[in-house]
Each structure stands twice: as C-alpha cells, then as structure tokens.
C-alpha cells in the first residue's frame, strides 16, 4: 500500500521544483507557470489528506484553489501583456525601477 507520506514527499518535491522556477527563470511567463506548478503540489497534498482522513473538505478546498488559481493566472497574464507593451521585454531582472 502507498502510505500517506509518499504522496506528501512527492508534493514537497514538486513544490520545491516550482520554487526553483520562480527564483531562477528570466521569463515572466515561465515564472507564472512555475507558480501553477506549486499550486498543483498543494492540491495534491489536499487530495491525499482528504482520502486518508476520509473527509470531503480537502476536495472542496481543491475546488476553491483551482478557482483562485484561474483568476490569478488571468490577472497575471494581463499584467504581463501590459508590461510587455511598455518595456518590450519579459525579463524580470530588467524591471528594477523600485530600487534604492
């Protein structure tokens, strides 16, 4: 049988990979995609707990997480479009106006 902690470790690994993507990549769209990856790892955790504790609340939470992720992806992409129009670039390292 697959124990719970297998799923949890998998989820942690996927989360960490998503973090790598957020920190490293110099393309805003890929950063946003890494964030989606992180959210999916969390969803996996929710579902695993839901199954192993026998509670429906986990699945309902995933439902809402998906709704929010959708909204966030939409807004994020709209912002990326807007920024691209101004700076003609998708590199976050080139957008450092708010520095010391």
Partner 1 sequence: MAGKDLTPPATQGVARPLENPIQWFHAASSVVSGKWQCRSMDMASVIFYLLATLLVISSLLVVFLRNVVHCAMALVTALLIVAVLFVTLHAPMVGILQVMVYAGAIMVLFLFVIMFLNPVELERRRGVWWGFGTILAVMLACVLTPMFIIDESPANPLAATESFGSPEMLAKSLFNEFVLPFEIASVLLLVAIIGAVVLAKREH
Partner 2 sequence: MVSPEPSSVAYDLLRWMPLIPLLASGFNLFFGRALGKQTAGALAAAAVGASFALACYVFWQLPAHGIWRDTLYTWIESGSFQVALSFQVDALTAVMLLIVTGIGFLIHLYSLGYMAHDEDRVRFFVYLNLFIFFMLLLVMGDNLLILFVGWEGVGLCSYLLIGFWHHDHNNTIAGNKAFIVNRIGDFGFILGIFVLVTELGRQGIWTLDFVELQQHVKMLEPATITLITVLLFVGAAGKSAQLPLFVWLPDAMAGPTPVSALIHAATMVTAGVYMTARLHFLFILAPATLALIAVIGAATAFFAATIALTQNDIKKVLAYSTVSQLGYMFLAVGVGAFGTAIFHVFTHAFFKACLFLGSGSVIHALGGEQDMRKMGGLKGFMPVTYWTYLVATLAIAGVPFTAGFFSKDLILWQTFSHGATGLWSIGLITAGMTTFYMFRQLFMVFHGECRVDAHAKAHLHESPAVMTLPLVILAAGSIFSGWLGAPEYLWGSRWEHWLEPVLGVSEVHHDSVSTEMIITLLTLGVVVSGFLLAFVNYRKTGAQTGSQAGGGLFYQISFNKFYVDEFYDLAIVRPFTALASFFARIIDPWVIDGTVNGVATTARRFSNIWRYLQTGNVQHYAAMFLTGALALLAYFLGQL
Binding site for partner 2 (CB under 8 A): 19, 22-24, 31, 92-93, 95-100
User: What would the x/- binding string for partner 1 be over residues 5 to 24, using CB under 8 A?
Assistant: xxxxxx-xxxxxxxxxx-xx
Angle, alpha carbons 56-43-75 (nearest 5°): 120
CA count, 13 A, side-chain hemisphere, 50:
14
Helix (H, G, I), strand (E, B) or coil at 1: coil
Q: Half-sphere exposure (CA, 13 Å, Cβ side) for 18?
A: 17
**Least distance (Å) from partner 1 to the CB of residue 90?**
6
What three-state secondary structure class fits 100?
A: coil
- Name residues contacting partner 1, limited to 35-54 (CB under 8 A): 36-37, 40, 43-44, 47-54
Site residues (vs partner 1, CB under 8 A): 1-10, 12-21, 23-27, 29-30, 32-34, 36-37, 40, 43-44, 47-54, 56-57, 59-60, 62-64, 66-75, 77-82, 84-85, 90
């Amino acid at each position: 049988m697959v124990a719970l902690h297998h799923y949890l470790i998998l989820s942690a690994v996927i989360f960490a990979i998503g973090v790598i993507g957020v920190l490293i990549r110099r393309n805003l769209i890929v950063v946003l995609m890494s964030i989606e990856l992180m959210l999916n790892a969390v969803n996996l955790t929710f579902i695993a707990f839901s199954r192993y504790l026998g509670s429906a609340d986990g699945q309902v939470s995933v439902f809402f997480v998906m709704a929010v992720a959708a909204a966030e992806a939409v807004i994020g992409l709209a912002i990326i479009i807007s920024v691209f129009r101004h700076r003609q670039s998708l590199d976050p390292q080139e957008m450092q106006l708010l520095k010391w």
